[in-house]
Structure 1
Amino acid sequence: MSTEAVERRLYNAMWWAKVQSAGPLEVDPDTPAVAGLTRAAAPDGSSVWLVPTLPSGAGHGVLDELDAPPVAVEQPNETARILAICVACCWTDRSAPAWPGSTGTLAQVRSVYAGMRGRPEQSSDLTLIIGSLRRLHATHWLLWDDKAAEVRLGPRVITWTAADLTTLRDLCRHLPEPPAAVLSPQVSPVDEQELEESDE
């Protein structure tokens, strides 16, 4: 085996070890490709996510080894429900791939959740919703911004197959329509500096 081939194997092994340890990784776009890891480019192109490409029909043992459970296991029904709602809120163009989707809001999620339950929102609902969003963020199914109360689909959705997406399209048709998203204004670093200077 050539030196180049050995170096390539070591390089791939290093990245796989990192992914097994930390889950999908956000890296610089210039990072060379890694065998078996799918690249999911961030919407603004500033980074890419390296996501394990799972073998077809991978069982729970393989998924556990890759630290890639099908869905966060704590309160699985509630968590899966919130993931479905976020798909409906963030995958607005369902003729396009799910990744990267668009930004959704907590208000949208709460609205659809209440519609699914067929009753007004209860005080305990928000606790359940936030808990599920955080679990899904921790497992990279979602990218949840606590401060802005905004959510995007996570890099792991890039592994969904065409059959998965067909099922999800059908699911979204049966969910209540989310209201329009009202996003937080984006503050640029220059604006932040000006705000800080004005406070001094």
Structure 2
Amino acid sequence: MTEAFRLAQLRVWRTIAAPEDDADLADLKAAAANAGRRLVELRGTGPVNLALGWLEEGPLTPDDVGGPGGAGEATVVVLAACLTCCWPDPDAPIFPGVPTTFEELRRILAPLGIQNVTQAVNRLCRWGYLAPDLFDGAIRLGPVVATWPEADVDRLRRRYSQLPAVEGRTGD
């Protein structure tokens, strides 16, 4: 399989298993770099997977609303609620985080007037920000979150207490 095909596969699937052969991994990294991208290793509970990040990323600016491009305000708020549910300790790495449920999200979002939680979660899953578990119904952070620049994750850490909070827990 050519590196171009594997990069295309990675763009469609969001993640692929990391090649076991170091030479294959080096070739894939070089192909990604030639395309202006970088490979991000996703380490969680299973084997190492790879996701594509941008080679050169600018951090969010203070005027940037954040969230996925094209997302409405409600979808961005749902992503923020998912972050606090799936990333309960802002001092820990953001990815892979812990699973949450639709019920927990609805409890957090109801006081904010967010109604279409399922629609927003489905959209965020399609974009790679979230990853549903089809076996247990849990919602997890997706591979796109693992590609966020550390400067942006640090900014989220500093503003964690401003995210929609799980009842009985604060970011302090």
Matched with 2:41 is 39
TM-score, with normalisation over the residues of structure 2? 0.72
CA deviation digits over 1:139-169, x for unaligned, max 9?
2110123664421101111111122112222
* Gap change, CA 1:29 and 1:12, over 3 Å in 2: closer
Determine whether 1:168 maps to 2:156.
Answer: yes
Could you tell me whether the CA contact under 8 Å between 1:141 and 1:156 is conserved in 2? yes
Matched with 2:34 is none
Matched with 1:71 is 68
**What secondary structure is seen at the aligned counterpart in 2 of 1:104?**
coil
Determine whether 1:157 maps to 2:145.
Answer: yes
Question: 1: CA distance between counterparts of 2:160 and 2:130?
Answer: 17
Query: How many matched pairs?
Result: 148
Could you tell me whether the CA contact under 8 Å between 1:23 and 1:139 is conserved in 2? no
Could you tell me whether the CA contact under 8 Å between 1:29 and 1:48 is conserved in 2? no
Summarize the alignment of residues 79-118 of structure 1 with structure 2, pairs less than 5 Å apart. 79-115=75-111, 117=112
Could you tell me whether the CA contact under 8 Å between 1:106 and 1:151 is conserved in 2? yes
Question: 2: CA distance between counterparts of 1:110 and 1:99?
Answer: 22
Structure 1 runs of 4+ off > 3 angstroms?
28-32, 145-149
What residue identity is the alignment partner of 1:91? W
Matched with 1:12 is 3
Unaligned runs of 5+ in 1: 1-9, 59-69, 181-200
**What secondary structure is seen at the aligned counterpart in 2 of 1:84?**
helix
Larger Rg: 1
Determine whether 1:24 maps to 2:21.
Answer: no
TM-score, with normalisation over the residues of structure 1? 0.63
Determine whether 1:133 maps to 2:121.
Answer: yes
Determine whether 1:54 maps to 2:54.
Answer: yes
**What secondary structure is seen at the aligned counterpart in 2 of 1:81?**
helix
Larger proportion of helix? 1
What residue identity is the alignment partner of 1:14? F
Matched with 1:190 is none
CA deviation digits over 1:31-58, x for unaligned, max 9?
75230321212x322x333211203247
Could you tell me whether the CA contact under 8 Å between 1:24 and 1:49 is conserved in 2? no
Matched with 1:142 is 130
Unaligned runs of 5+ in 2: 30-37, 59-66
